[in-house]
Structure 1
Amino acid sequence: MKPSPYPDLIPSFEHERLAALQPYQVLGTPGQGLFNDFVSVVAKLFDAPIALISLVRDTDVVFVGNEGLPEAPVANREDSMCSVAILQDGLTVFEDLTTQPCALVNPYAAQQLRLSFYAGQALRTPAGMPIGSLCVLDRKPRRLTPAEGELLRELALVAQDLLHLQATQAADGALTLSLRGRLDGPLQQTFTRLATLAELQAYEPNPDSAEAQHYTDSRLDEARYLVQTMRRELQNMLVAGRG
């Protein structure tokens, strides 16, 4: 491993972390189908232009799920905020990178991509080793509400299950088709409901009104439904795969 120009990004357990990442390297192709579908929903749930599932490798970060950032399928490790997210137990949140950049990574990368807001949750192996992150980004400053923070943590659990299932059963083409068959329905239902909510909310001129809050609450309810459905289906398939 070559020395990093940002050594604080490298945890003391890096050797063990990279070993834990090995089974997931089969997922090292940027922008994969189900992961893309999932982060598309995540972006809509947060009303954000960008959502990513990342794997933090030795020297780079690959975005296996990429909504809204097609110009960056892979980033240098020192350029990516996901490298910071894997160092944290909880959420990593930067409300405005333009005025308060992260000192652990190269600030010019975010500037070049016109990124202001970042919120990420580390994704872990079943043994608890951080290998990547689920994150949402925006090109304008914003605040992550407590409800949104909890939602991001819950969605990260879904992303972990999805990564684990895809990695351990990557050679099973039938399982991949079965997984898509189980998840396509809930994903498409959520897409439709979120689109309807967005159309209705567009007619509400006052973002602080009771009606606007109702649409926000409805979006969170939709998110919780999706989390519960996807976790149930993924856990069932993980159990079946061990049988």
Structure 2
Amino acid sequence: MQYPELIPSYEHQRLAALQPYQVLGTPGQALFNDFVGVVAKLFDMPIALVSLVRAADVVFIGNTGLPEALVVDREDSMCSVAILNDDISQFPDIAAEPCNLVNPYVAQHLQLGFYAGQALRAPDGMAVGTLCVIDRRPRQLSAMEQALLKELAQVAQELLRLQAAQAADPALTPALRARIDVPLQQSLTRLNTLAELRQWEPSADTEEARRYNDSRLEEARYLALTLFRELQAVPRP
């Protein structure tokens, strides 16, 4: 590998922790695509992904806004960096300050401007993938947005575990849908209303616009916590 810093000393244990999730190795998982679609909407970004970082590549099992690549080489993806960190890995201006641990070509080719990823962990604590949001312009996550991404990463971890368990119990996904669809739609309706109200403001810097934005983030965090509780309540085999 051209970028050996991407391979941690505990890689053998990490790949062992990844093994139960290999059933998710086929791109285009419907539930994850729906989830990252919501994540992109919550952050007002065009791209959101759930990835699994495998031995040689990164597979996007949930993908919205990035149709060109569902599987990329490990050394081409910033998700390979995000799994090495406990906190959020954030690259505010990829063009001006690219990540020097990965090949910059893919990010340049896709004209990516911003990346933020939170590692997703197996029950033993090993990082198996990421939840990330990506913009085509430089930006910075606020403290509230960082907290939201971490909470949504917990939701993604529960989705990973439940989807992996579905191999033993195919009824899990319908049960999960029944639990989360109503609170999800209720929150999305409130978020859409707040977004429409914000658009009536002459500038994003007015006091009312900032209040609408704060309310949107509070609603998004409430949704993340609700989804997490509902996912934990789903019986597992």
Q: Given the alignment, which residue of 39, 44, 63 partners 1:42?
A: 39
Match of 1:223 in 2: 220
Match of 2:111 in 1: 114
- Residue 5 of structure 1: how far off its partner (Å): 1.2
Match of 1:9 in 2: 6
Match of 1:99 in 2: 96
Q: Which runs of 4+ in 1 moved over 3 A?
A: none
Distance 2:168 2:182 in 1: 24
Give % identity.
67
Distance 2:46 2:185 in 1: 19
- Residue 166 of structure 1: how far off its partner (Å): 1.0
- Residue 108 of structure 1: how far off its partner (Å): 1.1
Q: What amino acid is the match of 2:9?
A: S
Match of 2:196 in 1: 199
Secondary structure at the aligned position of 2:236 is classed as: helix
Match of 1:145 in 2: 142
Distance 1:217 1:159 in 2: 23
Match of 1:159 in 2: 156
Secondary structure at the aligned position of 2:193 is classed as: helix
Match of 1:130 in 2: 127
Distance 2:202 2:26 in 1: 42
* Equivalent pair of 1:43/1:49 in contact (CA under 8 Å): yes
Distance 2:144 2:172 in 1: 34
> CA-to-partner distance for each residue in 1:162-182, whole Å, 9 max, x for gaps?
101111233322111111121
- Residue 193 of structure 1: how far off its partner (Å): 2.4
Q: What amino acid is the match of 2:146?
A: G
Match of 2:78 in 1: 81
**Aligned pair 1:21/2:18, yes or no?**
yes
> CA-to-partner distance for each residue in 1:142-168, whole Å, 9 max, x for gaps?
011111111111111111011011112
- Residue 136 of structure 1: how far off its partner (Å): 0.4
Secondary structure at the aligned position of 1:241 is classed as: coil
Distance 1:25 1:190 in 2: 32
207 and 196 in structure 1: CA distance in 2 versus 1, 3 angstrom threshold? same
Q: What amino acid is the match of 2:224?
A: V
* Equivalent pair of 1:38/1:187 in contact (CA under 8 Å): no
TM-score normalised by the chain length of structure 1: 0.94
Structure 1 spans left out of the alignment, 5+ residues: none
Match of 1:241 in 2: 236
Distance 2:14 2:225 in 1: 29
* Equivalent pair of 1:56/1:77 in contact (CA under 8 Å): yes
CA RMSD in angstroms comes to 1.2
Q: How does 1:177-216 map to 2 (within 5 A)?
A: 177-216=174-213
Secondary structure at the aligned position of 1:62 is classed as: strand
Q: What amino acid is the match of 1:214?
A: R
Q: Given the alignment, which residue of 65, 83, 88 partners 2:62?
A: 65
Q: What amino acid is the match of 1:217?
A: D
* Equivalent pair of 1:91/1:122 in contact (CA under 8 Å): yes
> CA-to-partner distance for each residue in 1:27-72, whole Å, 9 max, x for gaps?
1111211111111111111111111100001111111111111211
Q: Aligned residue pairs: how many?
A: 237
Q: What amino acid is the match of 1:106?
A: N
Q: Given the alignment, which residue of 160, 163, 166 partners 1:169?
A: 166
Quick check: 217-226 or 166-175, which moved more? 166-175
TM-score normalised by the chain length of structure 2: 0.96
